[in-house]
Amino acid sequence: MTIRPAVVAVTLVVAVFAAHGGALRGGFHYDDQPSISGNPAIRSFQPQTYFTSSSAVSGDSSTTGYRPVTVVTFAANYALHGLDPVGYLLVNVLLHALVSWMVFVVGRVVLQHEGWAAWAALLFAVHPLNAESVNYVVARSSLLAALGGAVAAWAFLRRLAGGGAWHTVVGVGALGFALFSKESGAAVIVPLAAALVVDPTGTEPARRRWTLLWPYAATLAAYLAVWGTLAGAAAAPHARTAAYPAWTFVEMAGRSLLMWVWPWPLGLDHPLEFVTRFDAWTACWLTALAAALLGLIIAYRRRRPAVSWCLLWALAGLAPLAALPWITVKGLMQENRMAFSAIALAWLPAIAAREGYGWICRARANRGPELSERLGRGIVIAATATGLVLAVVVDRARSDVWADNVRLWQEAAALSPDSVVAYTNLGSAYMKRGDDELAADAFQRAVAIDPTNAFPYFNLGFLVYKHERFDIAEPLFIKAASLSPAFASPYRMLGLIALKQQRDEDSARYLRHAVTLDPRDAIATAHLGLLAQRAGDEAAAEQWYRAAIALDPAQSLARNNLGTLYLQRRQWSEALEHFSAVLAVSPEDYDAALNRAVALDALGRQAEARAAVQTLLPRLPSDPRFDHHRRSASVILNRMPL
């Protein structure tokens, strides 16, 4: 059966948008905050910085990693449309379509049949287990790593089949792309090596060329050296004893595989038995599953080598989960971690469906070859159509959940009622929506689950800080700091409270400690500038403000105050630059808008100043607090010639 690649490509794009187009209504969630909306590194497009520092992966010092390619894509998104989540999610949708296309491209080599390769790609495109990779912006790292891994596998298989040396160049480049997108990209080395032992195409050339693997192994070794120097060194201080028992990894892998077969229930978090206790029944079925998979790999190595190879690929993709039980932050069992394994898992049903189709044709051959083939095709088409409809319905429902942060974390809390992470983030979602009472209940539930976790105390403190209940907020921040001494944010908030209460010495002490713990904390750095300015040390204030802007070019406090200093010094151009930068990010900043008009007027650009003031006046709230802005704007207008 011959299918035009262009037809497959169009079909996959249509299928991906039909299933996952609802993702475009979504927003930022969970790790999206430190990695995107709260990450100063993406606010200026500097790829060289991302490749030389692990800090670019996240604006949160508690999160370490080294994913420069992923950060480059986030920075490109930010350069195009700021923090509008639609653009970020659109890139995820398109990346998922690209990975689906590579399932087809590699599938043609592995399955030796374009039709079944297209069937596998369509399954991958709409399978509900992949919904999280599309709807969760930061899961782009999984999509990028899967894309790079698939291209590397295609190039390696083509080289084994007699392709030119350029296939190795493409393959090594794709492996580097996968590794620099996400650490789990290292898993691709397993199916590459396995192809030298278990030939997935079944052609079994006379001599397997192990030398073809060396460039890939060297690339992986070089990456590990870079990773160890950058991300590994940053992560070292956080290394402690195991957070979970070893059995937890086996359960994570087993449940992940079963969710491909029966993707229900889906959610950002999944309960794991072995997190809290050893369960003999769970251990038994996991052991049986592992034995069955091993048996299939051995049994099919000669009869159906593609089956063995795909199983090895799928298991290799789960191997990076082994690190999760030992990280100090109790990570969620997230579905996007399956992206690489799902590629091979899509080929396995295609192999099974092809075998079933062949069996039907053979079983009904006595009624005529043409009739038996028509029956087989009819059954495959009917089953495929039914599956597509069900998958699209489920995928659309998943996008609806991801479009509502409260609903997302309600689901996570329902699935994992003992998860501190779920209730802490549910409380944050309520707080963002303005449901402070429900937020407080969720945070208190998290405290009840684990009284030693600092984050619920911090969030409770932030909740009451918003209402200026500093007497309640302060002890909560102190509690959070005592439970997690390396957690910088409580010290920053303590510094802000002391600043509001005119306790400048205490404020400086807390803020300096916050900056010591997290040198990327632009907020604390900017407020240290404010303290210096209060003390009359303009030179020190300017240094702190400049440092804050270097960390976060959108830091409005630093830019506004530095701009005001320049106004006082009659450095009009420098002042204009900073106020314009503030308005580019926060158009409703009325102080910046008024001061920008002042700078324009002083520079002799009266027409622009008049336009700026005339734009500002109708937008000012009726609140008496803005009467000063109205009077100042009127003064500017009155002294300008018409």
What distance lies between CA 149 and its chain's CA centroid? 18
Contacts of residue 549, Cβ cutoff 8 Å, sequence gap at least 6: 522, 555, 558, 559, 562
Task: Output the six-digit token pair for 50.
Answer: 């991302």
Which of 183, 180, 182, 158 has the alpha carbon at shortest distance from 171? 158
Q: How far is residue 337's CA from residue 184's CA, in Å, rounded to a whole number?
A: 9
Q: What gap in Å lies between CA 389 and CA 383, rounded to an integer?
A: 10
Determine the pLDDT at residue 230.
83
Residue in the block written with tokens 């409005």: 556
Extract the tokens encoding 105. 């491209």
Query: For residue 594, which of 573, 610, 616 has the smallest C-alpha distance?
Result: 616
- Please tell me the chain's helix, strand, coil percentages from 3-state DSSP, rounded to the nearest 5: 80, 0, 20
pLDDT profile of the chain (642 residues), mean per 10:
89 98 96 91 89 75 74 96 96 98 97 96 98 98 98 96 94 98 96 93 68 96 90 53 78 94 92 88 95 96 94 95 63 89 98 92 71 84 96 98 96 92 96 96 97 96 96 98 96 98 97 95 96 96 96 93 96 96 91 94 91 90 86 79 56
Could you tell me the maximum CA-CA distance found in the chain, to the nearest angstrom? 100
d(CA 129, CA 111): 23
**Res 239: pLDDT:** 46
Could you tell me if 508 and 528 are in contact, meaning their C-beta atoms sit under 8 angstroms apart? yes
Q: Are 63 and 442 in contact (CB under 8 A)?
A: no
Establish whether the linkage from the previous residue to 621 is cis, with ω within 30° of 0.
no
pLDDT at 53: 81
Model confidence, pTM: 0.92
555-642: CATH architecture: Alpha Horseshoe (1.25)
| Other CB atoms within 10 A of residue 581 CB | 20
pLDDT in the model for residue 328: 45
State residue 232's pLDDT score: 62
- Which pLDDT score is estimated for 153? 98
Closest CA to 3 of 82, 147, 92, 117: 117
Pairwise CA distance, residues 559 & 538, whole Å = 14
Q: Are 373 and 115 in contact (CB under 8 A)?
A: no
Per-residue confidence (pLDDT) for residue 327, from 0 to 100: 56
Contact 480, 461 (CB under 8 A): yes
Q: Where are the domains of the chain?
A: 5-28+83-233+243-401, 555-642
Buried-exposed string 290-316: b where 16+ CB fall within 10 A, e elsewhere: eeebeeebeebbeebbbbbbbbbbbbb
- Residue 38: which residues within 8 A CB-CB, separation 6 or more? 59, 60
> How far is the C-alpha of 198 from the C-alpha of 213, rounded, in Å?
14
Phi-psi bin for 289: left (phi > 0), alpha (psi -120 to 50), beta? alpha
Torsion of CA 415, 417, 420, 423, to 10 degrees: 80
Query: What SS3 state is found at 353?
Result: helix
Written as one string, the DSSP assignment of 585-617 is H-TT-HHHHHHHHHHHHHTT-HHHHHHHHHHHG
CA triple 542-544-547, angle to 5 deg: 110
Residue 326: per-residue pLDDT: 57
**CA 375 centroid distance within chain:** 45
